[in-house]
Amino acid sequence: MRICYLFNSSTPSSNPGSIQVVNTCAAISELSHDIRLITPNTGSKLSLKKFYGIKKSPKLIKLRYFKKFPIGLNYYLFSIFSIFYGIRNKTELYITRNYFSLFLLNLLKKKAIIEVHHDLKNEGRLVNILYKYFDIFNNKNIIKVIAITNPVKEYLVNNFKVDKRKIEIISSASALKFKFNRIKKKKTYNIGYFGSLDSSKGSEFIIKLSNKDKNNKYFIYGGSKEEVLKLKKKKIPNNLQINHSVQYGRIKKNISKMDILLMPSNPKKLRSLGGIGNIAKYTSPLKLFDYLASGKIIIASNLKVFKEIIQNDRDCIIVNNLNPNTWYKLIKYLNKNLTKINKIKLNAYNLSKHYTYNIRAKKILKM
């Protein structure tokens, strides 16, 4: 089947959305479909295979006119040009995350699947008007609506009266493959965080935690070089290393060096990429699935949406607050209860087998 994935973000890049879309497209390609990924002319010059470490790459089509992230008028023009390419390519099925692209595909009576990851609050006025007055999601040409989490599904049903039978919850996934190793008692553990440096995701909390816990080594991998330099202007303890994000194809090496992985997200205010909106209610963070695949011990904040995937004392440790003293005491507790911790680690590792991109791609295309 000829498929076009319309994606208006930098590719290749370490943007979680880009990582997910490319790996999803790669998995669809491995299922013997002819898939093209259409993006703006932004992102790394490296090939998709090299940047993401994928075996089979979708054909990447970068629209030359869009040399920056498409905002304003270019947001709408990108949708028009990308669909025009798809029509020329005799596309049989379109997949997109873009609400305006979906509206145009509706008008043109093209078969489409949309992935919904958040509400419409961050969208422009025109898009909000279109979705207020037109029943777009329930159009017969929209063959499936993918909700990243159950709260997203509820949002679609309650606000747009989307037919529940049309919505399928398909979570994120991981493309990383690790060998499981038991954790052993050590004097010093490597404790890592991989992701955005936005304060709502926990970077500033980790600075406080590492200041409190001088016995262990802490590592942060995320953000641009400029964001790292800005964060380093704060008082950083000697046992904390802050590094800019690495390309996805190399991240396995860094995660493998860790003993404990952190997800100290703010349960009340969790900002999306670019520091806008609040996705705490809807998020399905990519790093959670990479963390599970690694078989490391995961310590996470108590977000209701996380519990769709993980459960406290089964495959992770969930903490009810963002008090560094609480997290510090918990880390000390882990070292004294390694039998229990290794059982939790193994459960997490086994759970990850249900969240691969091959499984995700098959669910997306199942009609």
Enumerate the β-bridge partners of residue 163: none
Q: What is the pLDDT of residue 272?
A: 65
- Stretch 235-262: mean pLDDT, rounded? 96
348 shares its domain with 360: no
157 shares its domain with 197: no
| Residue for token pair 């090299």 | 50
Assigned domain for 182 exists: no
Q: What is the pLDDT of residue 274?
A: 57
Assigned domain for 31 exists: yes
Q: What is the pLDDT of residue 201?
A: 84
For the chain, first and last CA: distance in Å? 13
Range of the domain at 273: 190-353
Cβ-count burial 134-148 (b if 16+ within 10 Å, e if not) = eebbebeebebbbbb
Q: What is the pLDDT of residue 198?
A: 85
User: pLDDT (tens digit, 9 = 90+) per residue, 142-200?
Assistant: 999 999 999 999 999 999 999 999 999 999 999 999 999 999 989 999 999 999 898 88
C-alpha distances (whole Å) from 71 to each of 74, 102, 104, 123, 227 are: 5, 17, 17, 11, 22
360 shares its domain with 347: no
197 shares its domain with 338: yes
9 shares its domain with 85: yes
Are 147 and 168 spatial neighbours (Cβ–Cβ below 8 Å)?
yes
- Stretch 62-70: mean pLDDT, rounded? 93
137 shares its domain with 224: no
Assigned domain for 179 exists: no
Rounded Cα gap, residues 272 and 69, in angstroms? 16
213 shares its domain with 163: no
Rounded Cα gap, residues 131 and 127, in angstroms? 6
- Stretch 102-110: mean pLDDT, rounded? 97
35 shares its domain with 159: yes
Residue 271 has pLDDT above 70, yes or no: no
Residue 273 has pLDDT above 90, yes or no: no
The domain that holds 233 is classified in CATH as 3.40.50.2000
Assigned domain for 199 exists: yes
- Stretch 323-328: mean pLDDT, rounded? 96
132 shares its domain with 220: no
Q: Which helix (H) or strand (E) holds 62?
A: strand 59-63
